[in-house]
């Protein structure tokens, strides 16, 4: 199956997230775009402070989007949106917190086993 045949679940278009104002202004995310397809496991990799969590929080609507768009099933999920759409995406888009002890860091686990 070609990528273009797959259903796009989440689309991030030209996302920028700027924290602070004036001389405290800090651009954490600068023009980031990607698509997440249905059934796909999508990972964001980058050094500490590169903005992975900020992108996740923007999709979760915890961090305000300064510029760009975030779409779920082709519909905007930011800013002022209808109540029923808000309720739907709150149910559909959720955080899954990782249990660090159950994660695949077997070196740590073998240390504990020792």
Ligand X SMILES: Nc1ncnc2c1ncn2[C@@H]1O[C@H](COP(=O)(O)OP(=O)(O)OP(=O)(O)O)[C@@H](O)[C@H]1O
CB of 89 to ligand X, least distance (A): 21
Interface stretch with Mg ion, choices 20-28, 51-59, 87-95, 99-107 (CB under 5 A): 51-59
- DSSP assignment of 95-106 equals -----GGGSS-H
Please report how close the Cβ of residue 44 comes to ligand X at its closest, in angstroms.
Answer: 8
Neighbours of 18 (CB within 10 A): 15
The residue within the footprint of ligand X, chosen from 18, 40, 52, 67 (CB under 6 A), is: 52
Q: Does 50 bind ligand X (CB under 6 A)?
A: yes
Question: How long a stretch of residues is the chain?
Answer: 114
Residue 63 within binding range of Mg ion, rule CB under 5 A: no
Residue 53 interacting with Mg ion (CB under 5 A):
yes
Selection from 55, 93, 61, 95 nearest residue 80 by Cα: 61
Cβ atoms of residues 65 and 58 within 8 Å: yes
Q: Is 19 exposed, middle or buried (CB count within 10 Å of its CB: 0-12, 13-18, 19+)?
A: middle
Window of 31-39, 42-50, 73-81, 85-93 that interacts with ligand X by CB under 6 A: 42-50
Binding site for ligand X (CB under 6 A): 19, 26, 28, 46, 48-54
């Amino acid at each position: 199956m070609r990528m273009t045949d797959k259903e796009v679940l989440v689309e991030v278009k030209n996302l920028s997230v700027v924290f602070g104002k004036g001389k405290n202004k800090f651009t954490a995310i600068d023009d980031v775009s990607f698509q997440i397809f249905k059934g796909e496991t999508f990972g964001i990799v980058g050094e500490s402070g590169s903005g992975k969590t900020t992108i996740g929080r923007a999709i979760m609507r915890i961090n305000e989007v300064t510029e760009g768009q975030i779409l779920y099933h082709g519909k905007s999920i930011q800013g002022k949106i209808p109540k029923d759409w808000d309720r739907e995406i709150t149910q559909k888009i959720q955080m899954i917190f990782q249990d660090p002890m159950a994660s695949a860091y077997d070196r740590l686990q073998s240390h504990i086993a020792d």
